[in-house]
Amino acid sequence: EADIYQTPRYLVIGTGKKITLECSQTMGHDKMYWYQQDPGMELHLIHYSYGVNSTEKGDLSSESTVSRIRTEHFPLTLESARPSHTSQYLCASSSASGANVLTFGAGSRLTVL
Amino acid sequence: GEDVEQSLFLSVREGDSSVINCTYTDSSSTYLYWYKQEPGAGLQLLTYIFSNMDMKQDQRLTVLLNKKDKHLSLRIADTQTGDSAIYFCAERKTGANNLFFGTGTRLTVIP
């Protein structure tokens, strides 16, 4: 079944640790996105990719980095986590044509102590 | 305005209709979307409408688009307790491939 998977779903970690949030999709989508979601706030785009070896920063500045070495995989990394990074991170993908409907993963909720 | 705007909360009684409203920013936006988010889950696409349409109906869902006022609404007929969730409006602005989302409206259905 075609889908988009995020791991971990929940992560509690201490300040200064390096973390990687994984995102994989099995739909063959070229475009992938990372959004950050805080309670009662809009989703903000922090990174996107239109294909392998293509990554761009989104509208919201983020200290995280991403890579796109394979079409299906779009991991997000924080080199040194801080409490201000506490948030929900949502990964999405879309095909290159038509209505550009985004398919979302279940999200990774990060808490930095 | 710069932001997609939605009211934060809506409560309705089970069996009534719910209407969730949204104002968006770009009169040239090509597509507008409604997503649903249940607790602990990602966003699930409910429906979308192309900008040359005024209305789209899909079972209990009716989307109305007023391009002049940049206003989008989602009507849920015969609202059920399972409809309780956060509903996000989103627009695809001209020249952009990503979507811009509102804050979401938390719908609470009272039995």
B93: confidence class by pLDDT, cuts 50, 70, 90: confident
Exposed/middle/buried for A20, CB within 10 Å: 0-12, 13-18, 19+? middle
pLDDT score, position A2: 62
| B22-64 pLDDT per residue, tens | 999 888 888 999 999 998 888 999 999 998 899 999 999 999 9
Contact B33 A101 (CB under 8 A): yes
pLDDT score, position B95: 77
Average pLDDT over residues B62-67: 95
B43: nearest CB among A90, A99, A100: A90
Distance from CA of A3 to the nearest CA of B (A): 12
pLDDT score, position B96: 77
- Flag residues of chain A having pLDDT under 50: none
| B3-21 pLDDT per residue, tens | 789 988 999 999 999 999 9
Please indicate if any CB of chain B lies within 8 Å of the CB of A100: yes
pLDDT score, position B2: 61
Chosen from A3, A43, A44, A57 to mutate, greatest number of chain B CBs within 10 A: A43
DSSP codes, A42-97? -EEEEEEEEETTEEEE-SS--S-EE--SBTTB--EEESS--GGG-EEEEEEEE-SS
Average pLDDT over residues B72-90: 96
pLDDT score, position A1: 59
State phi, psi for A9 to the nearest 5 degrees. -75, -35
Chain A residues close to B99, C-beta within 8 Å: 100, 102
Give percent above pLDDT 90 in chain A. Answer: 81
pLDDT score, position A38: 87
- Residue where the block lists tokens 């989103």: B90
Average pLDDT over residues B71-78: 97
pLDDT value at B1 more than 60: no
